[in-house]
C-alpha cells in the first residue's frame, strides 16, 4: 500500500516502487547507464543507475517509467504536469555563485553554456555547497518561479582556492588574511596614541596617520594639498571657531549629539567600550576612504572624537576623547 503522494514524498515513493518492481531488469542493463559508475560504493552505483532508469531511459514507445507511473497513479492534472517536469533533466557542471539560503536555494552558473540557475539543493548536506565550489549532476525544473531542483547523485568539487590551499600554495585568501592582519596592526597602533589630561586637537592630530588627517579634511572641506602641519592647523581652526563649530553641530544626528554629551559628562574622555554600548559599535577601520555608518565613526571623521589609550586606575584603556579646545565651547551648541 503506497502512501498518499505529495510533492515532497513523490520521488522517494516512486523510486521505491521502481526498485521493487524493476530490480531484475535494472541489474541486466546497469552497464548501459551513460553516467559515471566509478563511485567506489555499490549503494551509490545503484542510486545513479536507478535515477537514470526511472526518469530518463525511454522504452520503444518513447515513455519513461516516470511517465507510466504518473499516468497510472496520479489523477490531478496540475500535479501530473508538475511531476513530469522531473523528466526535463539538465546534466552539467555548475559553479556556485551564492551559497544556500534559508530555503536551501543556491545561485549557480552552468560551466558549459554560462546559463544562470536558481537551484534547490536536496538532501541533508546543503552546508557543503559554498560559494566558488562547483558540482556535477542533474537538475530539473520544479517551481513556478523557474527554480530547479537537484536530482540523484551530485559530485562536489572544491574551489580553486581550496585546491591551492590543499596543495600548500599561497592563495588570494591567504594574501587577504595577511593584508587585514597587517592593517589591523596598523590601526591598533594608530588608536594607541597616549591621551593626556585636557589634550588639544593639534597635539592629538599630530599623531594621526596622514590618511586619517586627509579624511577629516574632506569632511570639513579643507584643502588636502596643504602640508600635514597646515592641515592640522586648519582642522583646529574650524573646530574651535564658534560659527563653524555651530554649523557642524547643527548638522549632527541626535545620536551623534548624545555621544558627544556622554563624553562631555565624563570630562571629555570616555571609555570607548562604554560609549559604543550606548550609541552602537564603531565601524572605523584602517582605511578612512570609506564613509562610516556608525555614530562614533562619523564623529571621528569630523575630528570631534579621537580614539587613543589612557591609564585609568592603573589600567590602560581604549578611550574616546573630545579635544579640550573643542570641548571648551561644544556644550553651548548641543
pLDDT digits (tens, 9 = 90+) for 282-292: 988 877 777 78
Least confident of 174-188, 264-278, 306-320: 174-188
Q: Work out the angle at residue 92's Cα, subtended by the Cα atoms of residues 80 and 123, and round it to the nearest 5 degrees.
A: 60
Across the chain, what does the average pLDDT equal? 88
pLDDT of residue 31: 85
Is 166:132 a contact under the CB 8 Å cutoff? no
pLDDT class of 94 with cuts at 50, 70, 90: very high
Is 127:100 a contact under the CB 8 Å cutoff? yes
Round to whole Å and give the CA distance between 204 and 168. Answer: 45
Q: Is the pLDDT assigned to residue 128 strictly greater than 80? A: yes
Q: Which sign, positive or negative, has the C-alpha torsion 241, 242, 248, 254? A: positive
pLDDT digits (tens, 9 = 90+) for 200-257: 999 999 999 888 999 999 999 998 888 999 999 999 999 999 999 999 999 999 999 9
pLDDT of residue 45: 87
pLDDT digits (tens, 9 = 90+) for 25-62: 888 888 888 888 887 788 888 888 999 999 999 989 99
Q: Is the pLDDT assigned to residue 170 strictly greater than 60? A: no
Provide the residue count of the chain.
334
pLDDT of residue 171: 58
Q: Which sign, positive or negative, has the C-alpha torsion 208, 247, 244, 255? A: negative
Round to whole Å and give the CA distance between 271 and 249. Answer: 22
Pairing of strands 116-120, 148-157: parallel
Higher per-residue pLDDT: 198 or 1:
198
**Segment 4-7 long-range contacts (CB within 8 Å, at least 24 positions apart):** 5/73, 5/74, 5/79, 7/79, 7/82
Q: Which sign, positive or negative, has the C-alpha torsion 13, 14, 17, 23? A: negative
pLDDT class of 173 with cuts at 50, 70, 90: low
pLDDT of residue 37: 83
Round to whole Å and give the CA distance between 253 and 274. Answer: 19
Amino acid at each position: 500500500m503506497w502512501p498518499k503522494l505529495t510533492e515532497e514524498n513523490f520521488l522517494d515513493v516512486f523510486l521505491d516502487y521502481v526498485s521493487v518492481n524493476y530490480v531484475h531488469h535494472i541489474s541486466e542493463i546497469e552497464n548501459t547507464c551513460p553516467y559515471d559508475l566509478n563511485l567506489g560504493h555499490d549503494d551509490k552505483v545503484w542510486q545513479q543507475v536507478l535515477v537514470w532508469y526511472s526518469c530518463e531511459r525511454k522504452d520503444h514507445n518513447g515513455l519513461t517509467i516516470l511517465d507510466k507511473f504518473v499516468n497510472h497513479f496520479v489523477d490531478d492534472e496540475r500535479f501530473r504536469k508538475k511531476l513530469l517536469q522531473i523528466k526535463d533533466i539538465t546534466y552539467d557542471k555548475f559553479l556556485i555563485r551564492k551559497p544556500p539560503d534559508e530555503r536551501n536555494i543556491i545561485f549557480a552558473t552552468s560551466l558549459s553554456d554560462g546559463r544562470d540557475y536558481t537551484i534547490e539543493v536536496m538532501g541533508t548536506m546543503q552546508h557543503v555547497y559554498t560559494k566558488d565550489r562547483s558540482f556535477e549532476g542533474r537538475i530539473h525544473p520544479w517551481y513556478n518561479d523557474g527554480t530547479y531542483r537537484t536530482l540523484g547523485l551530485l559530485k562536489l568539487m572544491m574551489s580553486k582556492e581550496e585546491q591551492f590551499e590543499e596543495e600548500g600554495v599561497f592563495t588570494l585568501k591567504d594574501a587577504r588574511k595577511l593584508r587585514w592582519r597587517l592593517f589591523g596592526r596598523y590601526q591598533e597602533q594608530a588608536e594607541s596614541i597616549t591621551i593626556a589630561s585636557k589634550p588639544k586637537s593639534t597635539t592629538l592630530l599630530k599623531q594621526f596617520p596622514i590618511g586619517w588627517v586627509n579624511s577629516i579634511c574632506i569632511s570639513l572641506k579643507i584643502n588636502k594639498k596643504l602640508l600635514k602641519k597646515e592641515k592640522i592647523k586648519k582642522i583646529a581652526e574650524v573646530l574651535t571657531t564658534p560659527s563653524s563649530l555651530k554649523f557642524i553641530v547643527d548638522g549632527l544626528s541626535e545620536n551623534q549629539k548624545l555621544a558627544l554629551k556622554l563624553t562631555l559628562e565624563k570630562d571629555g574622555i570616555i571609555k570607548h567600550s562604554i560609549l559604543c554600548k550606548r550609541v552602537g559599535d564603531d565601524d572605523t577601520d584602517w582605511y578612512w576612504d570609506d564613509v562610516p555608518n556608525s555614530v562614533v565613526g562619523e564623529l571621528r571623521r569630523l575630528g570631534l572624537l579621537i580614539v587613543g589609550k589612557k591609564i585609568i586606575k592603573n589600567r590602560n584603556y581604549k578611550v574616546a576623547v573630545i579635544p579640550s579646545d573643542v570641548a571648551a565651547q561644544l556644550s553651548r551648541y548641543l
